[in-house]
Structure 1
């Protein structure tokens, strides 16, 4: 149900107050000169809406004690009904968002309990691994910083999620401590170093493999190895060494 019983009841109460205002002002307008304007149906609706919305243009006003008492009652009950409806509906919206978030987190936790490899970053190696893991039906999750890229990969069946990769809280949601291996392949060297430092705290029992694309980052990661034993792979260097070996053989 989109709205709770309480919200529906509060809306009905607000509707009742509006009807009370329209009918009451219409009757009072015809029983005597209680307002400064002729209270036909249009004026009664207009007066009620303007009064309950607290706009109060002042073009239609009560001019007798009975009219003023009626307006006071209308405002008191109207504001109460309006605030009750607003609170109830806001509560329903907030509750729905909390339930959606809880459901999403539970889904992530359930999925992560089966995951063996956590891929962090949208580097070429991680994308290729995700595609191969999907073909081989291996349990994995790919975390990206680019929402558009994550959506495109998800459309292809890749288990990709877009998060703030340099947020410890965001990474923590995917329980890196529960996976066997974590492969980090990011384009931004500074962000990658920061993520690895986060992982050294969150995933102390997991195997961390880093894919580096320049020697500067490789040297900086060597210092991290003093904190945790991480494996550093430089694909460019490996390819260069293999090509060199092939050329030397010829």
Structure 2
């Protein structure tokens, strides 16, 4: 497989854009030649000459402006193939730029999958929302599992290896290397999905520590029954933090939320 490091990726993109800019410059050059030539040969205004040039290059031939001299006809015989060639060059440059962009994206994803396959004793983080993003920032070795487009893009921009898909599916967790992971952190917005993810992860890797986020107090017990080692109920933690600021006597120890 071809290797695309950061330098190589930049070189490929730079080369594609250079071809594209070259094609655009060539088109402009041809338009300038045509406009200037029609101004001299047919004694047209610059606007009419430019219009005549564009119509000629597009091979539309409206018929409202036609060559009136043999010199113009001879020029057109040479100019039309040049213009068609310029259009074809531009089309090929645009196609190559789009194709290489897609191919580079594919190669980057393949490289990321290869990196994930080599990871061991890492953390599989399910969910990259507000909570998940903050959790990820404190981890050294992490693979993100996410299925929302905006969150996937955010994780990629932050530089995290990512597997797109739903964490309740064993195939998705397998791609994230859950069988080799030391821990699974589940920071989903849906408690039922969290429970199913716990069950799936526990079955695939009984040795992994599982930490889960609960959005409802009555979900904590269910998540622990499913196999989570620790469950954090976000609303209760937030409420406790506010009460602590209000009156320290109202504070509860963190153990009270286990």
TM-score category, normalised to shorter length: 0.5 to 0.7
User: Which position in structure 1 is the counterpart of 2:166?
Assistant: 166
Give unpaired runs (5+ residues) of structure 2. Answer: 1-10, 237-251
Query: Residue 180 and residue 162 in structure 1: after superposition, are their counterparts in 2 closer, same or farther (change >3 A)?
Result: closer
Kept after mapping to 2: 8 A contact 1:178/1:206 = no
Q: How does 1:15-26 map to 2 (within 5 A)?
A: 15=28, 17-26=30-39
Kept after mapping to 2: 8 A contact 1:142/1:161 = yes
Query: Residue 13 and residue 234 in structure 1: after superposition, are their counterparts in 2 closer, same or farther (change >3 A)?
Result: closer
Indicate whether 1:98 and 2:103 are aligned.
yes
Instruction: Return the match for 1:192 from 188, 191, 194.
Output: 194
Kept after mapping to 2: 8 A contact 1:113/1:178 = yes
User: Which position in structure 2 is the counterpart of 1:62?
Assistant: 67
Measured in 2, the distance between the counterparts of 1:130 and 1:181 equals: 13
Query: Residue 113 and residue 40 in structure 1: after superposition, are their counterparts in 2 closer, same or farther (change >3 A)?
Result: same
CA shift, 1:186, in A, is 1.2
TM-score normalised by L of structure 2 = 0.53
Indicate whether 1:117 and 2:123 are aligned.
yes
Give unpaired runs (5+ residues) of structure 1. Answer: 30-37, 245-250
Kept after mapping to 2: 8 A contact 1:117/1:139 = yes
Kept after mapping to 2: 8 A contact 1:147/1:162 = no
The size of the alignment, in residue pairs, is 219
Measured in 2, the distance between the counterparts of 1:165 and 1:195 equals: 12
Query: Residue 194 and residue 57 in structure 1: after superposition, are their counterparts in 2 closer, same or farther (change >3 A)?
Result: farther
Q: Which entry has the higher C-alpha Rg, 1 or 2?
A: 1
Measured in 2, the distance between the counterparts of 1:97 and 1:150 equals: 19
| Cα deviations by residue, 1:49-84 (Å, 9 ceiling, x for unpaired) | 343256766542335687567556644442332122
User: Which position in structure 2 is the counterpart of 1:209?
Assistant: 210
Indicate whether 1:81 and 2:86 are aligned.
yes
Kept after mapping to 2: 8 A contact 1:117/1:180 = yes
User: Which position in structure 2 is the counterpart of 1:180?
Assistant: 182
Kept after mapping to 2: 8 A contact 1:166/1:194 = no
